Structure 1
């Protein structure tokens, strides 16, 4: 295996993650353009274990339940006869090979620059040179030397092929998909493709950000390949008390491809010599140490919330686990053996009704036969829902309205706060806030938090400037009749016309942007020099002198 740092950017492999994770960087040298993998790839790895004293995950598990330890064993191959004066044939691939019996592993002073949870190599000898295929889940270091915070892991697919005359389009089929390389010119390593998905070292700081090892889940690897003798069942290799999926020192048949393509095949012009357009090998060298300790049952606590009503407190718990797991919730006031309902696909839900108080903490425990139970604790929080977030460009007023699922009053009342703008005036979990924004610029969104832990964020709706005019204003003394008309930029807005503090009447801006108010027998009587004002429901204002007839 070559150092990952020697690679430059290539192309990322699209993948779908079984549970969750994030995409890492992709590194490699691509001298021939590769189309996207077909059929589509699925990252059928499950989550890695928590870190160990080395800072790496102890294991990665595939979607079929097989977990592989970070292979750091000094076990010797039972298939290779030792030769005095030569390095031993180890069952684990490490670089440099530090794990000699007289040179034991220690962190970080005697630790390999590269190690593997899983590795599979295949090679084909060609008239013009050769071809190499690598699939691996690899442990390495950002600066190629064992150091705290520099740990990285990634899923690697590497394809290197020497191409004969005249070149052309070549199709490479392997256990984890198909790559098509178009218009490849002849030459040594004319196909030179590497994709490393999931590289993510820690980030120095105070405190530092630790490495994240979920990125490898986005690669194309999974399920793990295993050695087979009959092409149907895995043939694990025991060495002492340890168990291995294969021997990296010898060629062997494998099974485990999600597509049934347990081979390395190249198709293209003259790839195997003049007129030989297909070459293939079914033999791989694979490395991986089986993790034999009980695994923790996977568990993700998606949400724990509560609502308060006149009859008490209802707690809702959402969780994700293995489809075959059982998930139990416990806490103060929760009846024993309260299990969440399962949809059979790994999603779980349960509601505990009419509790006297919010159970803090609430513990959620997932169990699966043969695995160790996993427990997570949390405090349920209320559900906050922002029902209105508006900014009026005319008045520079921000209006926020929100609800809490906790409708308690008095000592049980929650406080809702618009972050950066202040508390909402609230009663029984329903609150509102109207606040001027000094800058005159609207926020893109507002966040409302609750004193009970709930939070919601909502984009702000912008109410545009409302421009209104009064084009005519008259008062007819006979009949005490007002006639006032004008324009408005927002059809549908309400226009209220006033004389001082006295309201004359209201009307609506029509679809054409015009409005008109006519009031007979009005009790509002103007004097000489009177001026009327018009105010829009969105805040627009205008004034005009009154003509008295």
Structure 2
């Protein structure tokens, strides 16, 4: 995957994930879409930000395949799950514990005991060894830190798969979440599931795609079982949203206030910004994901700004607080005198908010000198008006 979208203020999850082809998929958490049926049942739901029965598990994309497996004392089964899943760090629906992760799961039931099986799937290969009952579940989950939605970008569930064109792909979807279907999109051109293992192909499943006329072909000294049929779910994102990446003010000594708002969305959107509930002003930009507005606020510092994507069919305003900006102009350590000197300024030259070095103390005017036998590698200065800045410490003597 290449990018993750702004946070949906309704759910606390990203509005979409994007792959390298530019395809963006949204989170299918609503229960009223028959083409995105794969969500957790009501017993695992809860209330999230006023949404009743929000699922404990929902998906941006999921592809599943099942096929029979021979070789054991009875007919066995292989199940493969490839998914980009949204859930919570605990078993309960709790705001602040949202996680999104990429999952690859390879499950064998009733195969040969203590036997290694190799799975080839659209995103690579997996090996797993069964226990004494002929069972194993091998799972790789990437991106399990709460609220760190970029972690899932390191997973393998991309580029996104989609149905092949016969029959036609449902408009606005990559699959219908219910029908077994051939797929395309594998970066390795392995748009199938192939399982190698002793006797695997004796349960009557399809054979090696390179030799379809031989159902029990020996393939690298192992029998194989194969399918190119997947149940695939995913919905093309139609709400792109907006994210405020920075909202700062500057105030001259005479009292005039300017507010700078930086925002992010997808290219080609029309974003508007409102200061403290006032009239909306367009943000400039649109050729890239970045947008900007610089607005005169008279002599009053607004407490918050709101940005809304007016291109979206469903407007989802995003509001953040406004702070000053802090610039660290000096962070020098004199090893001879064992002193750390920090200088910083605020963009508020009228209120002149107090500035503090985290863990050290306040600045006297714009400068602070601290006695230390050894310095930290960085210093952070925090303003009483909310701004913050971090700089690398320079050794000067």
- 1:399 maps to which of 323, 341, 345: 341
Decide whether aligned partners of structure 1 residues 315 and 112 sit closer, same or farther in structure 2, where only a CA change above 3 A counts: closer
Aligned to 1:434: 369
Asked if 1:158 is matched to 2:123, the reply is: no
Q: What is the deviation of 1:450?
A: 2.9
Aligned to 2:149: 214
- 2:79 maps to which of 132, 135, 138: 132
Unaligned runs of 5+ in 2: 202-215
Q: What is the deviation of 1:270?
A: 8.6
Q: What is the deviation of 1:362?
A: 3.2
- 2:180 maps to which of 251, 267, 273: 251
1:518-533 correspondence to structure 2 within 5 Å: none
Asked if 1:346 is matched to 2:284, the reply is: no
Q: Which TM-score applies when normalising by structure 1?
A: 0.51
The size of the alignment, in residue pairs, is: 363
Deviations 1:34-79 (A, max 9, x none): xxxxxxxxxxxx4664566xxx96x96443344343375798x9xx
Aligned to 1:302: 245
- 1:282 maps to which of 228, 232, 239: 228
State the distance in 2 between where 1:341 and 1:92 align.
Answer: 37
Unaligned runs of 5+ in 1: 1-15, 20-45, 78-89, 100-104, 201-210, 238-242, 465-549
Secondary structure of 2:169's partner?
coil
Q: What is the deviation of 1:284?
A: 1.6
State the distance in 2 between where 1:417 and 1:106 align.
Answer: 42
State the distance in 1 between where 2:219 and 2:180 align.
Answer: 24
Q: What is the deviation of 1:384?
A: 2.0
State the distance in 2 between where 1:287 and 1:417 align.
Answer: 51
State the structure with more CA Rg: 1
Aligned to 2:210: none
State the distance in 2 between where 1:47 and 1:333 align.
Answer: 21
Secondary structure of 1:337's partner?
strand
Whether the 8 Å contact between 1:139 and 1:151 is mirrored in structure 2 is yes
RMSD of aligned residue pairs (Cα, Å): 5.1
Deviations 1:132-171 (A, max 9, x none): 3112345667676x5758886643211246999xx99956
Secondary structure of 2:3's partner?
coil
Aligned to 2:327: 384
1:39-438 correspondence to structure 2 within 5 Å: 46=5, 49-50=8-9, 61-63=16-18, 64-70=23-29, 92=38, 94=40, 115-117=57-59, 118-128=61-71, 131-138=78-85, 154-160=101-107, 172-174=120-122, 177-179=123-125, 181=127, 193-199=138-144, 212=147, 214=149, 217-218=152-153, 219-221=155-157, 230=166, 233-235=168-170, 245-248=175-178, 251-254=180-183, 261-266=190-195, 272=201, 273-276=216-219, 280-286=226-232, 295=239, 297-308=240-251, 312-331=256-275, 337-342=281-286, 344-352=287-295, 356-392=299-335, 394-406=336-348, 408=349, 412-426=351-365, 431-436=366-371
Q: What is the deviation of 1:180?
A: 5.9
